[in-house]
Amino acid sequence: MFVFDITNPITLILMVAATVLLIFLAQEIKKSAVAAVVLAAYLGVLIVHVAQLTTLSEEFRYLTETLSRCVAIDFVFLLISFFAYLWTDDIEAKAQNKKSINNSLDWFWKKI
């Protein structure tokens, strides 16, 4: 059974680097769609890990701990990418003088 193991330190460092670079790109070009791609990718990875965890057969039960850690890390990356999407959406809305999707975090963005 193939498992995309994101608990491996090298894979984790590469994922963090790719996420930071894509979020920085979204902020620089003022397009929230780039951050939405990151958000969708992490949502897809989370769905795959949960599906693998729930359909794990007896011969692969030793992967339960690894998949559980992967799901936890997926949630962290999903939360970070969600806030990055909201942030870049706010930047894009201000650049184009239009209403953002959600202005409820304006107090938070002003502090950053």
Would you put residue 31 in left (φ > 0), alpha (ψ -120 to 50) or beta?
beta
Residue 102 has a pLDDT of: 61
Question: What are the domain boundaries of the chain?
Answer: 9-102
pTM (predicted TM-score):
0.82
pLDDT digits (tens, 9 = 90+) for 98-112: 766 666 666 666 766
Residue 112 has a pLDDT of: 64
- Whether the per-residue pLDDT at 74 is higher than 90: the answer is yes
Among 91, 74, 98, residue whose Cα is nearest residue 5: 74
Neighbours of 68 (CB within 10 A): 13
What is the Cα–Cα distance from 16 to 9, expressed in whole angstroms?
10
Three-class DSSP category at 105: coil
